[in-house]
Each structure stands twice: as C-alpha cells, then as structure tokens.
C-alpha cells in the first residue's frame, strides 16, 4: 500500500481562508499614522480566546527538508493561534478540516508554504501540524491563549502522510 502524499501550495489569503488568516501586508489596505511615517495594516487577523492572550517567541531549533512525513495534527479549541516569522524565513503550514467532533478529515489535508513575509492565524479548532520550519534556528512571534485547563487535542494518524513539493 502506498503512502498518502500531499502537494504543497503557495499560501494565499483566499486558499487559506477555511483555516484562518494570512498575516501579510501584501494585497491589504493601510492607512498612514505617526505623521505619515508609518503605514498601518490594521486588524489583519482576529484573536479568539476564552482567556488571556499572550505573545511568546518560539525558537525552532530543528529544520525540516521536503519531502517530509507527518504523523499527527493538533488543534486548540479554546483559542486561535498565530505564527509570525521574525527573520523572513519560509515555513510549512499543514491543515485539515474536521471530519467530526473528534478528528480531522485526513482526505482533506492541505499544505502551504509561507514566503517568509507571511504569518498565519489558525482559527480556534483548526487542525494543524506544529511549527515546521525550513531554516533553523528560526524565531516566531506566537500569539495565543494563555489560560488554564486543556487546550490541545492531538490526533495521531494510522499511517504517516508525505508532504512534498
């Protein structure tokens, strides 16, 4: 039996919409502030949370190479989670819609690649793979729920899935 394979797509606001927001200046409107010295790209994503929201830095110390096998997805049901690259590094985004209340639809997995100027904001409850960077070390600003109680469901696949370009 052959392994399921997912092709990587370019990340765009339109093709990522079912899973959340693409955080980018490209193609978005702005207005000037600070005596016309700054362009403000306002409200590119909305934070969802039932608790406090925090900004953290994730330092990814291990890069991947493509093709890459994945064996699980996770979701955060109580809040959104945003990843913004700090060093213009490219990273891989793997997502899937829910099949039911307990697991992702493995037949609908999609993979996207950020060009390094784009971040993503996963909507609350979106199945996604943990951070996958193509360069290491890589620093990301992460904006997510900082609350008590469980907020991470993990679904392990019956067999690995290959992500390829």
Domain layout of the chain by residue ranges: 4-164
What integer pLDDT is reported at residue 3 of this predicted model? 82
Structure-derived torsion over alpha carbons of residues 150, 104, 122, 4, reported in degrees to the nearest 10: 130
Q: Identify the CATH number of the domain defined by range 4-164.
A: 2.60.120.480
pLDDT at 1 over 70: no
Return the structure tokens found at 1.
Answer: 């039996």
- Residue 118 DSSP SS3: coil
Q: What is the mean pLDDT of residues 72-82?
A: 97
Nearest to 90 by CA among 143, 138, 55: 138
Q: What is the mean pLDDT of residues 106-135?
A: 97
Nearest to 17 by CA among 88, 106, 120, 86: 120
pLDDT at 56 over 90: yes
Predicted TM-score of the model (pTM): 0.94
Q: What is the mean pLDDT of residues 104-130?
A: 97
The rounded mean pLDDT for the chain is 95
Nearest to 97 by CA among 89, 107, 85, 87: 107
Nearest to 26 by CA among 11, 38, 37: 11
Q: What is the pLDDT of residues 80-99, one digit of tens each?
A: 999 999 999 999 999 999 99
Q: What is the mean pLDDT of residues 99-112?
A: 97
């Amino acid at each position: 039996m052959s392994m399921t394979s997912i092709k990587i797509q370019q990340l765009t606001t339109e093709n990522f919409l079912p899973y959340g927001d693409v955080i980018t200046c490209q193609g978005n409107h702005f207005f000037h502030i600070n005596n016309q010295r700054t362009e403000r790209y306002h409200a590119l994503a909305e934070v969802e949370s039932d608790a406090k929201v925090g900004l953290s830095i994730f330092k990814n110390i291990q890069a991947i190479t493509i093709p890459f096998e994945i064996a699980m997805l996770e979701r955060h049901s109580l809040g959104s989670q945003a990843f913004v690259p700090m060093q213009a590094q490219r990273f891989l985004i793997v997502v899937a819609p829910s099949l039911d209340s307990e697991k992702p639809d493995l037949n609908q997995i999609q993979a996207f690649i950020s060009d390094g100027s784009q971040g993503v904001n996963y909507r609350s409850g979106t199945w996604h793979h943990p951070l996958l960077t193509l360069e290491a070390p890589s620093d990301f600003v992460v904006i997510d729920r900082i609350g008590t109680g469980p907020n991470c469901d993990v679904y392990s696949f019956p067999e690995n899935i290959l992500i390829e370009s």
